[in-house]
Amino acid sequence: MVIEQQLAAMDLSGADITHAANSHLHFDHAVAANYFLESEVLMQRSEWDAAFAEDAECIDTNLFDGLKGARLSFVDGDHDVFGNGSVRLIYAPGHTTGHQVLIVNLDNTGSILLSSDLYHTRANRKLQRSPTFNSDARQTLASMEKIERLLVESGATLWIEHHKALADTLKKAPEF
């Protein structure tokens, strides 16, 4: 189910969403960006600059062209969205130049950390290796270390969205 359908099932649309953020600008993580043009879009400055650089690879900016006219708020590094620790963007570069992960504290479920493409599978996490297609292997390994520390400190549950067997077991909107 795509995000527009998930929101519609809760009688919401993109216009109801006050804040939006993309983990990074690869097509499979950014194609819905044009749906949130009325939101404040929290964007790692380094991700934006790399995506629109002349030598950018693997990124088709036509897919999220509307973002150029969006309310962009540039972020440099970790960012506590509401200033109370409830939603935090954590800078975890290496898959792309400005890749970030998200940690949210939910009343009923506790803390969840969304991996995005820091890890693609559980095996990827176990092996602690950088996939060959990442933009920077050294940064990737440093980000893995950083996020593993954060998982211990926060007690958060890690969701690896690309791991289909795991993703299929997770309760997602509009279920919760």
Using the contact rule CB under 5 A, the part of the chain among 9-17, 44-52, 112-120, 140-148 near Zn ion is 112-120
Residue 38 or 131: which CB sits closer to Zn ion?
131
- Tell the residue number behind the tokens 């097509």, with chain if given: 27
Residues in region 141-170 near Zn ion by CB under 5 A: none
Using the contact rule CB under 5 A, the part of the chain among 18-26, 46-54, 67-75, 135-143 near Zn ion is 18-26
Name the E strands within 12-69. Answer: 19-21, 40-44
- Does 26 engage in binding with Zn ion (CB under 5 A)? yes
> Binding residue for Zn ion (CB under 5 A) from 25, 33, 64, 117?
117
Q: How far apart, in Å, are the Cα atoms of 145 and each of 47, 49, 92, 125, 163?
A: 20, 25, 10, 10, 20
Residue 12 or 141: which CB sits closer to Zn ion?
141
Q: How many residues bind Zn ion (CB under 5 A)?
A: 2
Using the contact rule CB under 5 A, the part of the chain among 36-44, 114-122, 136-144, 155-163 near Zn ion is 114-122
Residues in Cβ contact with 45 at an 8 Å cutoff, skipping those fewer than 6 apart: 74, 75, 76, 98
The two counts, helices (H) then strands (E), for the chain are 6, 8
Rounded Cα distance, 143 and 145, in Å: 5
In the complex, least distance from residue 153 CB atom to Zn ion, rounded to whole angstroms: 26
In the complex, least distance from residue 129 CB atom to Zn ion, rounded to whole angstroms: 16
Which residue number is nearest to Zn ion in terms of Cβ?
26
Provide the 3-class DSSP secondary structure of residue 42: strand
Residues in Cβ contact with 116 at an 8 Å cutoff, skipping those fewer than 6 apart: 23, 24, 29, 92, 95, 99, 100, 101, 102, 161
In the complex, least distance from residue 13 CB atom to Zn ion, rounded to whole angstroms: 26
In the complex, least distance from residue 146 CB atom to Zn ion, rounded to whole angstroms: 18
Residue 39 or 98: which CB sits closer to Zn ion?
98
Residue ranges that bind Zn ion, judged by CB under 5 A:
26, 117
